[in-house]
């Protein structure tokens, strides 16, 4: 097989999260077919520093100028939900596919605008829910995908504890538990019915539980809220099939598969050749590879912006049903 042609990409955003995950993932994990063409941030100092550290070419502080000047195959956008609709639609209008960090927007309307622009341009947008591509969740998907042995999914129990840095309750959901919802629907399918209840201890803190019925008829439970995370015990999902089997993923790492007789636990192996394996375990490397492959092969990615419109809508309904105002406020990853 011949070498792949170079995939010429630009990044808009050189903030804290991009520095911690996006740039190192794209530069230190064998993206040999990637041409690191250009970086843009309003803060030129940060753009210069990250471009220098991770081997990117030109530097811009005006993303429109970058798009006009560079001949790119795709753009990675990592700015924040309040900026994403404007920037992502402008990139799509120039005919380029977009990898878009979550949250895609701060409201469903913004996400819908991006989806419409993607449909109009005939270009893909993948949303940065990296858990879909995490190693442990992929292992769970393999187990569940063996329909002969696992059967049909009948019930999903999921928790993702929040933490108290978020300026509003809904900001915690939009910035953090959106990942959990994306994951739950990736296993359960579309949601038909939602009931939720919150303990609103203060304006910005409390507990939240939700009952879901998927369109398949299967049931789901969510335990979220603003306490308990983001540490070691924050995350757990259990998926039950109708052939006596189930699978549990604990803290995005450990996968236990059980049936009536025996349980077996699997954890991803450590490979010392990679400099920061958590970029791989957590799914950052996998999602970025998936995006490039989907652009190259003309495939719809997961999760796509069209999946995301539904997820954003369900997220708002979960909050609304529990009396949580749909109020978002800025928060930095430099917590
Ligand atoms: N997937 C995850 O696990 C995960 C985790 C944390 C944060 N995030 C997401 O990453 C994104 C960035 O978060 P952050 O905490 O790094 O924010 P940040 O404020 O540190 O970075 C945002 C950067 O965008 C730049 N910017 C804003 N508007 C711009 C424009 N029009 N043109 C060019 N640059 C512009 C700012 O100058 C800043 O450097 C957010 O969407 C956040 O939700 C994802």
Give the integer Cα–Cα distance in Å for 42 and 61: 5
Does pLDDT of 302 surpass 80?
A: yes
Give the integer Cα–Cα distance in Å for 281 and 130: 10
pLDDT band, residue 1 (cuts 50/70/90): very low
Give the integer Cα–Cα distance in Å for 48 and 35: 17
Task: Find out whether the beta carbon of 17 lies less than 6 Å from any atom of ligand 1.
Answer: yes
Show the tokens assigned to 214. Answer: 């998927």
83 CA closest ligand 1 atom index:
28
Task: Find out whether the beta carbon of 83 lies less than 6 Å from any atom of ligand 1.
Answer: yes
Task: Find out whether the beta carbon of 12 lies less than 6 Å from any atom of ligand 1.
Answer: yes
pLDDT value of residue 50: 98
Q: Which residue has the tokens 């049903």?
A: 321
128 CA closest ligand 1 atom index:
1
Domains observed in the chain: 7-130 (3.40.50.720), 132-267+308-321 (3.30.360.10)
3-state secondary structure 76-136: EECCCCCCHHHHHHHHHHCCCCEEEECCCCCCHHHHHHHHHHHHHHCCCEEEECHHHHCHH
61 CA closest ligand 1 atom index:
33
pLDDT value of residue 30: 86
Q: What is the pTM of this model?
A: 0.97
Give the integer Cα–Cα distance in Å for 276 and 294: 24
pLDDT value of residue 141: 97
pLDDT value of residue 335: 63
81 CA closest ligand 1 atom index:
41
Give the integer Cα–Cα distance in Å for 150 and 198: 33
For the chain, give the percent of residues with pLDDT over 70.
99
pLDDT band, residue 13 (cuts 50/70/90): very high
pLDDT in tens, 200-234: 999 899 999 999 999 999 999 999 999 998 877 89
Instruction: Please say whether the beta carbons of 77 and 97 come within 8 A.
Output: no
Q: How many residues does the chain have?
A: 335
pLDDT in tens, 29-77: 889 999 999 999 999 999 999 999 999 999 999 999 999 999 999 999 9
pLDDT in tens, 85-104: 999 999 999 999 999 999 99
Output phi, psi for 159, to 5 deg.
-130, 145
Question: Which among 11, 43, 79 is the best mutation to test ligand 1's pocket, defined by most ligand atoms within 8 Å of the CB?
Answer: 79
Does pLDDT of 251 surpass 90?
A: yes
pLDDT band, residue 2 (cuts 50/70/90): low
Show the tokens assigned to 310. Answer: 């539904």
Decide: helix, strand or coil at residue 309: helix
Task: Find out whether the beta carbon of 239 lies less than 6 Å from any atom of ligand 1.
Answer: no
Mean pLDDT of the chain: 96
Closest to 97 measured CA to CA, from 292, 307, 323: 292
> C-alpha angle with apex 101: 290 to 189, nearest 5 degrees?
65
């Amino acid at each position: 097989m011949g070498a792949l042609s170079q995939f010429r990409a630009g990044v808009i955003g050189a903030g804290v999260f991009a520095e911690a995950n996006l740039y190192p993932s794209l530069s230190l994990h064998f993206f040999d077919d990637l041409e690191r063409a250009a970086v843009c941030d309003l803060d030129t100092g940060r753009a210069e520093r990250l471009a220098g550290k991770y081997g990117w070419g030109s530097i811009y502080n005006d993303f429109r100028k970058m798009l006009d000047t560079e001949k790119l195959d795709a753009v990675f956008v990592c700015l924040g939900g309040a900026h994403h609709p404007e920037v992502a639609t402008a990139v799509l209008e120039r005919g380029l596919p977009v990898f878009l960090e979550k949250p895609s927007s701060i409201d469903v309307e913004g996400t819908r605008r991006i989806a419409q622009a993607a449909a109009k341009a005939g270009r893909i947008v993948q949303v940065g829910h990296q858990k879909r591509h995490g190693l442990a969740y992929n292992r769970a998907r393999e187990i569940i995908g063996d329909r002969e042995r696992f059967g049909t999914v009948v019930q999903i129990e999921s928790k993702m504890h929040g933490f108290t840095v978020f300026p509003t309750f809904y900001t915690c959901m939009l910035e953090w538990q959106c990942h959990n919802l994306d994951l739950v629907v990736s296993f359960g399918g579309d949601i038909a019915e939602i009931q939720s209840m919150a303990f609103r201890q203060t304006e910005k803190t409390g507990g939240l539980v939700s009952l879901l019925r998927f369109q398949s008829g299967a049931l789901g439970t969510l335990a979220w809220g603003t306490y308990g995370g983001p540490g070691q015990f924050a995350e757990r999902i259990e998926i039950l099939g109708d052939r006596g089997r189930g699978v549990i993923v604990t803290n995005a790492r450990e996968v236990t598969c059980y049936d009536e007789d025996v349980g077996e636990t699997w954890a991803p192996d450590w490979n010392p050749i990679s400099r920061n394996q958590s970029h791989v375990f957590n799914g950052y490397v996998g999602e970025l590879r998936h995006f490039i492959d989907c652009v190259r092969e003309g495939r719809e990615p997961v999760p796509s912006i069209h999946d995301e419109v539904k997820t954003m809508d369900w997220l708002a309904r979960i909050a609304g049903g529990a009396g949580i105002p749909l109020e978002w406020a800025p928060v930095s990853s430099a917590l």
